[in-house]
A and B are shown apart, each in its own frame.
Chain A
Amino acid sequence: MIRIFKSEWRKLRRPTLFLGTMAAVIGLTGLISSLLFLLLDSERGNGREGMMITRETLALPNGLYVGFANSAGLLGVIALCVFAAQTAIEYTNGTLRNLLVREPRRLLLLAGKYLAMVSFALVTVCFSAVVSISISASLANFKGVSTEQWYTSAALSLFGSTFGNVFLSVISYGTVGMTLGLLLRSPISSISIALAWILVIENILSATVNGISKWMPGQLMSAIPVQFGVDFSYSWALAGTAIYLVIFSITAATLFKRRDVVN
């Protein structure tokens, strides 16, 4: 397992992928966290979908992590793209046959590859947390947000749960990406179909069909770190996501185990 993990990281650490992804993470997290403070008094809102997050809310113990939690959706989309591309590209490049000749135990190969991508996602979440917290801490005084409750033990424990929720949401998106990559064997198809479903179709359905959002995988995954504008609870989001993850994981494992490698 360790050698599969290390082998996968040789691909994940290539500069165009690693630096490109981290630049995107830093840029998007920086933008979301900066706008959260810079647009504090804006009538158009400073949060997701025009939501107004007040000074008082930001002054709460979890205020330091609001920007980080708000970045989870975009981090998830990035993870979805990376997982889907890293999986499907083995088919389009024809490199899967090389991997399977060197490691024919297919489920072990898939598990090692998945763990490597999960660790990559963990790095992106860490980068995002550092950038978001740094920006929040530096802009708080500038915008007159009280930071008294930010550096308490209660705030520290909230960081653990926020980080865990963001990470869980991100790897859920990634698992969807990997499954679609295996199913469609094309990075472009898998990414475009996943994004079209999560960003467009689910949002349209949720806005037009009452009560449907609590059954939509994208809505459930994005609701784990941020409970904004949803009509279901955190535990529902967690349970729903877990069920979808089991379904996607079984699908991915079955496809990878049983399908002939002909390209």
Chain B
Amino acid sequence: MLNSQNAAISVLDLTKRYGERNAVDHISFEVPRGTICGFVGPNGAGKTTTIRMLLGLVKPTTGVGTVLGEPLTHPERFLGKVGALIEGPAFYPALSGRENLKVLATLGDFPHDRVDQLLDQVGLLDRATSKFKTYSLGMKQRLGIAAALLPSPELLILDEPTNGLDPAGIQEVRELLGHLAGYGLTVLVSSHLLSEIEAIADDLVMLRDGKVLFSGQTKALLAAQQPTVIASTTNQRDLARLIEIATNTGHQAQIVNESVHIVADATFATSFNRAAFEAGIILSSLVTALPTLEETFFELTSDN
């Protein structure tokens, strides 16, 4: 475990019990300062409950933790340095975007100058006076991100921040998070878009059924997975022969999208290419690929 001073978030044996069910079941993980940490898991895995416990909204049944070096039991000591977007943006429908942010800026004692700066940053300045209820889903999401940035946070906790955003909006959020991490900000971001998490997250916490499946560096997780050699040929009738060649050398192989996928590391590619050539098969392509985070996620979270 990291020293809690070096970790933006550190939790140990955290549990939340509702009736007979543990929504979060004795989890322990850490998020190092200055990193972007992906928080992933299927629906009902306990991500949002964990985030609510980190923010003092839900009281843990058992366990301890710190946020920015302060104990979870005293959220007033750290929440002034934390920005959060929890389970989608929640604002007052009858107030404008600007007024909604001013409600929170007044409450948190943040300078009101930041309101327009942030509205500009998330591209909502021209709609600042429109009522929140007239915003599109993407605009609501961007207002939620602006609200999370109000305190100039040291730690940003975002629950599904790209929900409702178009591809350009998703790209903007990705760039924004990268930009913020460059300034030493720590970001804990939960998302079901695993390709997004893979692109931005240095670290990863993976939950399933309230338990931590993996916690650590994203690249360490991916590196630990079996790479795949993918071979294609112009003649589809040769695919069965390629499978035979691979299995004869003790490797698992299957046909996926008119290619042969062989579970093997990169060094196997050369000998496989030679064996195929000797069998009279010309390969049109031969590449080595690591599993994506999505594939790894399904591998780790699947029942099989």
Residues of A bordering B, CB below 8 Å: 3-4, 6-7, 10-11, 14, 16-17, 89, 93-95, 97-105, 260-262
Contacts and interface: CB of A to CB of B under 8 A. Distances in A.
A10 B86 contact: no
B217 to A, nearest CB: 29
A94 B87 contact: yes
Contacts of B95: 10-11, 14
Contacts of B75: 104
A89 B95 CA distance: 13
A186 B129 CA distance: 28
Contacts of A11: 92, 95, 103
The 3 closest A-B pairs by CB, nearest first: A94-B90, A7-B107, A104-B75
B108 A103 contact: yes
Nearest to A15: B94
Contacts of B120: none
Nearest to B104: A102
Contacts of A10: 95, 99, 102-103, 106
B91 A95 contact: yes
B56 to A, nearest CB: 5
Interface stretch (B76-84, B242-250, B274-282): B76-84
Contacts of B86: 97, 101
Given A6-B106, A10-B102, A260 B59 contact: yes
Contacts of B90: 93-95, 97-98
B93 A102 contact: no
Contacts of B91: 93, 95, 98
Q: Which of A14, A94, A101 has the most CB of B within 10 A?
A: A101
A100 B106 contact: no
Contact of A101 (B79, B87, B102, B103): B79
8 contacts: A3-B108, A16-B94, A93-B90, A93-B92, A101-B84, A102-B151, A260-B57, A260-B59
Q: Main secondary structure on chain A at its contact with chain B?
A: helix
A10 B101 CA distance: 11
B239 interface: no
B147 A3 contact: no
B108 A105 contact: no
B106 A95 contact: no
A3 B106 contact: yes
A103 B52 contact: no
A97 B108 CA distance: 13
A89 B92 CA distance: 9
Contact of B107 (A3, A94, A97, A261): A3
A261 B57 contact: yes
Given A3-B108, A103-B108, 11 more contacts: A3-B107, A7-B107, A11-B92, A17-B94, A94-B87, A94-B90, A97-B90, A100-B56, A104-B79, A261-B58, A262-B57
Interface in B51-67: 52, 55-59
B109 interface: yes
Contact of A98 (B56, B76, B94, B147): B147
A121 B155 CA distance: 39
Contacts of B58: 260-262
A201 B88 CA distance: 41
Contacts of A14: 92, 94-95, 99
B76 A102 contact: no
Given A3-B106, A11-B103, A100 B57 contact: yes
